């Protein structure tokens, strides 16, 4: 009985250790990683919003070939980006530059998000204070006023007459 359990456990251990080793080994070269990074940050000039990595257009395919050739020549990522910016302008980059006036594209969204979160928190606080001041038995600031007997005698016959018609 014990031997029958040891054999499958050994096989399982062997399988898992092999899988872990395979998952941790580096099969992709540094050049391939660099090419993939660059293909992900360069935009296809024909397909707005798509990187050349995603696009199936012939121009994107040519651009991928150029990127691969420039990486094989030993060019740095900044030099390759500058090459494409020189040909297509700064709109070819999917991420705006982090200098000059483009810095606002990086600063404004987080500031706006923070401001929106503060506004929501303040609005919720004001609504909670109003709810507490009104009381839990009368929501939405409706005041329940008692109808006097005279008003009941005046309006109930009118209601009965309308409902009977």
**46: nearest Cα among 65, 69, 63:** 63
pLDDT of residue 13: 72
**Per-domain residue ranges of the chain:** 29-95, 102-164
Interacting residues of 165 by C-beta distance below 8 A, sequence separation 6+: none
State how far the Cα of 94 lies from the Cα of 132, in Å rounded to an integer.
Answer: 49
pLDDT, one tens digit per residue, over 52-64 is 988 888 998 999 9
Could you tell me which residues are beta bridge partners of residue 97? none
Spell 72-93 as b/e; 16+ CB within 10 A means b: eeebeeeebbeebeeeeeeebb
Q: pTM of the predicted model, to two decimals?
A: 0.49
Rg (CA), the chain: 35
pLDDT, one tens digit per residue, over 10-39 is 667 777 777 666 555 557 788 888 889 888
Looking at the predicted structure, is the pLDDT value of residue 150 above 80?
A: yes
pLDDT range class, residue 137, cuts 50, 70, 90: low
Looking at the predicted structure, is the pLDDT value of residue 152 above 90?
A: no
pLDDT, one tens digit per residue, over 107-120 is 899 999 999 999 99
Could you tell me which residues are beta bridge partners of residue 43? 51
**86: nearest Cα among 42, 36, 49:** 42
Decide if domain 29-95 falls under CATH 1.10.8.640.
yes
Interacting residues of 68 by C-beta distance below 8 A, sequence separation 6+: 35
State how far the Cα of 13 lies from the Cα of 71, in Å rounded to an integer.
Answer: 41
């Amino acid at each position: 009985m014990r031997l029958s359990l040891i054999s499958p456990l050994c096989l399982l251990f062997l399988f898992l250790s092999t899988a872990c080793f395979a998952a941790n080994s580096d099969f992709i070269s540094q050049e391939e990683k660099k090419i993939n990074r660059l293909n992900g940050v360069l935009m296809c000039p024909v397909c707005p919003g798509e990187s050349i990595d995603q696009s199936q257009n012939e121009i994107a395919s040519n651009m991928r070939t150029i990127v691969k050739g420039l990486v094989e020549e030993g060019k740095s990522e900044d030099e390759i980006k500058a090459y494409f910016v020189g040909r297509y302008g700064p709109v070819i980059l999917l991420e705006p530059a982090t200098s000059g006036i483009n810095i606002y594209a990086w600063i404004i969204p987080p500031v706006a998000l923070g401001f929106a979160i503060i506004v929501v928190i303040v609005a919720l606080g004001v609504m909670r204070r109003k709810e507490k001041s009104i009381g839990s038995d009368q929501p939405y600031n409706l005041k329940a006023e008692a109808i006097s007997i005279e008003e009941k005698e005046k309006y109930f016959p009118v209601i009965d007459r309308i409902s009977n018609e």
